Structure 1
Amino acid sequence: MEKQTLTSLLQITHPVIMAPMFLVSNTQMVIEGMKSGVAGCIPALNYRTLAELQASIQTLKASKVAGGSFGYNLIVNKSNVKYKEQLRILCEEGVDFIITSLGSPEETIREAHKVGIKVFCDVTDVAFAQKVEQLGADAIIAVNNLAGGHRGNLDPKTLIKAINEHTSLPVISAGGVGCKADLVAMLNYGAVGVSVGSPFIASIESGVSQEYKQACVDYTAKDIVMTERISGTPCTVINTPYVQKVGTKQTALETFLNKNKIFKKWVKMIRFYIGMKATEKAATQVTYKNVWVAGPSIDNTKAILPVAKIVEQLVA
C-alpha cells in the first residue's frame, strides 16, 4: 500500500520539516519556513514559561499561510517536568503536528488525536517504530546516524528500508540532508519526506550567537564528534578546542552512577539539566566553553543565509 506523502499529511508544498532544535528554533524561522512552503517545528522546551509557549502558538497561527505548516516537539519522559502542561497547551491552542522524543508517546497520541493534531514519533530502530505504530502514531521520524544532536546508529538507507518493511506508517528521514541531492536520495530510499535541522542553524533568523552560526560555516563534517558529556546521552557536537579539552567520554564516576539502579534516574535528570544549561550558554553568549550541537550536514553550509534561501537550496 502506498504511504501518504509528507506534503499530503501536512498540506505543505515541499516534503520538508524544519527540525526542532533546542535554543535554535524560533517563531521567526518557522514563519519564514511556512512562507517558503515547508513545515517548521519548535521544541516546547525553548520556552521558559507556559505563557511564552502559548504566545508562540498564537503568533504562528496568525502567520500561517497556505502551503506551510507548524508544530512543536515534546520531550515525553520524566526529564521534562513540564511535559503534561505543555501537551495541554498544545492541544488547547491547536497546532498542526507534534513530534515526540525520548519516551513513550502514548498519552500524547491519545490527547492530540482528540483535537485533530497529528503525532510523529522520533525512533532510531524498527522495534520502537512498531511500538509507536501500535499506539496510533501518524508517521515516524527515522533518526539516522547522520543526524545532529541525539542521533541514531543506522545509516539512512538501512533505517528507512527496515522501517518501511516492518510498519505501514509513512517514514520521514531525519539526518544527513544538507542539499537537494541529499533530499532526493532520502526519497529514493523510501522516505516520504525529510526533517532538516543543522543547515538552518546558520540562518539569519535563528536566535543563536553569530559565533555559533559562523562555526557552522567554518567547520565541516569531519569536525563533528560524538560526546557523552552534555545530557548523558550521546550527542553530536562541533569539535571545538573546548570540546577537545574536556573530552567526549563520561568520567569513571559518571559511568558508575549511570549504571547504578538507585542513582541512574536522578543522575540522568540532573545531568540533562546541567548539560542543557551549558549548551544554552554556549549557544547564546560569547564564551570559551563552546559546545555547539550540529550534524555533518553543515558540510553544505557555506554562508549565513535567510531561511527562505536555505529552503530554496534544498528544494529548487
Structure 2
Amino acid sequence: MMSVQLTDILHIKYPIIQAPMFLVSNVAMVKEAMNSGIAGCIPALNYRTLDELQNAIRALHEAKVEGGAFGFNLIVNKSNVKYKAQLEVLCHEGCDFIITSLGSPEETINQAHKVGIKVFCDVVDLNYAQKVERLGADAIIAVNNKAGGHRGGMSPESLIKMLVAHCNIPIISAGGVGCKADLDKMLNYGAAGVSVGSPFIASEEANVTEAYKKACVDYGANDIVMTERISGTPCTVINTPYVQKIGTKATWIENLLNKNKSLKKWVKLIRFAIGMNATKNAATKATYKTVWVAGPSIEHTHAILPVKEIVKKLIS
C-alpha cells in the first residue's frame, strides 16, 4: 500500500490537497483547484445550514473535471452538534473523500465506505495513526509542527518517516509546504502527497478580507506565533499588533478555572466561542482585532494570486 500515491487514490494529476480552512475554503477555490489538477476540501462547518452544504456539494459535482477531486472536512467529536447530519448529507450527495478531525472517525469510515467515499484522518502521532488504520481509514493526514491552525508537535521529516515505517496505509503530509522544493521534501520523506492550506489564503477566490490576504503577503514564517487565546488549544496565528497586545497565553483566571474538573469544559467552550467569533470577524470584515490564522508556509507568499497560479508555484 505504501507505494500507492495520492494521485492514484483520488485520480488527480498532482499529489496535492487544497486543505480545508475554517472560514476561508469555498466552492470557488475548490473549483479552481480541480481545474488545476489537484483536490480541494472544505470544512462542513463553513456552512450554517444543511441546505447550504447540500448546494455546495451539488455545485462541485457539476464543476468536477477529470484530474480533479473534492471532499469535505468533518469535526467528529461531541462539540460539533451538526456532525451526524452533515455526515448523512455527504453520504447522500456523494464526494470523493472526507477528512476527519478531533475525534473517533469510526462512524464516518463505516458510513462513508458504504457509498464509496474515502476517509482520510488527521493525526499528530503514531498511536492515533495506528488506531485509525485499524478502523479502516484509507489514508492518514500527518499534521506536523509546520501546519497552520491547530498543528502537531513533530517535524515533517520525523512524523512522516515514523508513520511510513509503522503504518500500512498512505501518509499525506500536512504543514510546511509553500513551494515546489517543500513538496519534493515531503515526497522524498515518503509521503504519498501533501495537504496545503496557508498559501491559498491569499488567493483571489478566497472570501476573506483583502487585509487578511495582504497580511499573508507581508508577514513571513518568523511572524507566526502560537496562541492559547482562540480555542483554548495552541493555534498558530500571525503576530499582529493586536495579538501582541492581548498576549498569547491563557489568563491566570482561565488557568485557575481549567484546574477545576467541573468547570473546565465550560471554560473551554466559552473561550472557543469568543475566539472563533474574533477569528471570524478578522477574516470577514474590517476590525482592529486582527486574529489571522496562518502557518509558516506564508513565507513563500509574495502576492495575491488566482488559485491556478498558486498551484503552478507548487508544482513547477
TM-score normalised by the chain length of structure 2? 0.98
State the match for 1:203 in structure 2.
Answer: 203
SS in 1 for 2:173: strand
Contact 2:19 2:197 in 1 (8 A): yes
Contact 2:2 2:170 in 1 (8 A): no
State the match for 2:19 in structure 1.
Answer: 19
- Note if 1:110 corresponds to 2:105: no
Counterpart CA distance in 2 for 1:16 and 1:249 is: 34
- Note if 1:166 corresponds to 2:166: yes
State the match for 1:301 in structure 2.
Answer: 301
State the match for 1:155 in structure 2.
Answer: 155
Contact 2:2 2:169 in 1 (8 A): no
Contact 1:79 1:272 in 2 (8 A): no
Counterpart CA distance in 1 for 2:84 and 2:247 is: 35
Specify the code of the residue in structure 2 equivalent to 1:299.
E
Q: Where in structure 1 do 4 or more consecutive aligned residues deviate above 3 Å? A: none
What is the CA-CA distance between 1:263 and the residue it aligns to? Answer: 1.9
* Structure 1: 5+ residue stretches without partners: none
State the match for 2:62 in structure 1.
Answer: 62
Specify the code of the residue in structure 2 equivalent to 1:219.
Y
SS in 1 for 2:261: coil
Root-mean-square deviation (Å)? 0.9
Counterpart CA distance in 2 for 1:107 and 1:260 is: 32
Specify the code of the residue in structure 1 equivalent to 2:171.
V
State the match for 1:82 in structure 2.
Answer: 82
* Structure 2: 5+ residue stretches without partners: none
Specify the code of the residue in structure 2 equivalent to 1:246.
I
SS in 2 for 1:195: strand
Specify the code of the residue in structure 2 equivalent to 1:239.
N
SS in 1 for 2:122: strand
Counterpart CA distance in 2 for 1:49 and 1:315 is: 36
Counterpart CA distance in 2 for 1:167 and 1:131 is: 10
Counterpart CA distance in 1 for 2:148 and 2:2 is: 29
State the match for 2:38 in structure 1.
Answer: 38
Specify the code of the residue in structure 2 equivalent to 1:133.
E
Aligned pairs for 1:1-316 (under 5 A) are 2-316=2-316
Counterpart CA distance in 2 for 1:257 and 1:97 is: 39
Task: Give CA-to-partner distance per residue, 1:183-228, whole Å, 9 cap, x none.
Answer: 0000000100000000000000001000000000000100000000
What is the CA-CA distance between 1:290 and the residue it aligns to? Answer: 0.1
Contact 2:176 2:182 in 1 (8 A): yes
Specify the code of the residue in structure 2 equivalent to 1:144.
N
Q: Tell me the matched-pair count.
A: 316
Task: Give CA-to-partner distance per residue, 1:11-50, whole Å, 9 cap, x none.
Answer: 0000000000000000000000000000000000101111
Specify the code of the residue in structure 2 equivalent to 1:65.
V
SS in 2 for 1:28: helix
Counterpart CA distance in 2 for 1:272 and 1:134 is: 31
What is the CA-CA distance between 1:275 and the residue it aligns to? Answer: 1.4
Counterpart CA distance in 2 for 1:69 and 1:184 is: 21
